Structure 1
Amino acid sequence: MSHTISGKKKLLSRVRRIKGQAIAIESSLEEDPDCMAILQQVAAIKGAVNGLMKEVLEDHLREHLGAEDMTKEERLEEVEDVISILKSYLK
């Protein structure tokens, strides 16, 4: 997971932003929420999570599937793992 470690600061920043957005929604819901504001916050979180997923997935594909020292079987197994994750993510 060297690619995740090398981008750790950037990824943590994204996660903390998502956490802050979720806390903001929670606070809004505890008060008298404006539906449009909640919808905007939910859309912002979705965008932030999608950005995080894109970043981690892109790094993973480059680092692992782009590795020249993988056997064909290892590469196929890795592809199946990524497909499985994407299927659950896109539900």
Structure 2
Amino acid sequence: MPHSPADKEKALTRVRRIRGQLDALERALDAGADCSPVLQQLAAVRGAVNGLMSEVLESHLRETLAAPSIPSQQHDAGIDAAVALVRSYLK
């Protein structure tokens, strides 16, 4: 999770943008929109979520694994947890 106020606000702004995209997608589906615009909106939502995931993951890795004082065992556990998270996300 981003810890600095600027990074936190940036992440929240992205979440709000994604929420807006999902609301637009819901309206399109309710209105019976054609498949092409719906698929385009789905691709936009997916891209936005991927971007948010990338930023939060990078922040997490930098803050938890890049610390020089972190014990080796904790470092390895953090890497394992990050790899598991990425694998579950990519399924």
TM over 0.5: yes
Secondary structure of residue in 2 paired with 1:5? coil
How big is the shift at 1:22? 0.6
Secondary structure of residue in 2 paired with 1:89? helix
Give CA deviations for 1:35-83 in whole Å, capped at 9, x if unaligned: 1110110000011011001111111111111011111100000001101
- Structure 1, unaligned runs of 5 or more: none
Give 1:68's aligned residue: 68
Q: TM-score, normalised by structure 2?
A: 0.93
Q: CA separation in 1, counterparts of 2:68 and 2:13?
A: 31
Q: CA separation in 2, counterparts of 1:41 and 1:17?
A: 13
Give 1:5's aligned residue: 3
Over aligned residues, Cα RMSD in angstroms?
0.9
Q: TM-score, normalised by structure 1?
A: 0.93
The list of structure 1 runs, each at least 4 consecutive aligned residues, that deviate by more than 4 angstroms after superposition, is none
- Structure 2, unaligned runs of 5 or more: none
Identity of aligned residues (%): 48
Give 1:80's aligned residue: 80
Give 1:45's aligned residue: 45
How big is the shift at 1:34? 1.4
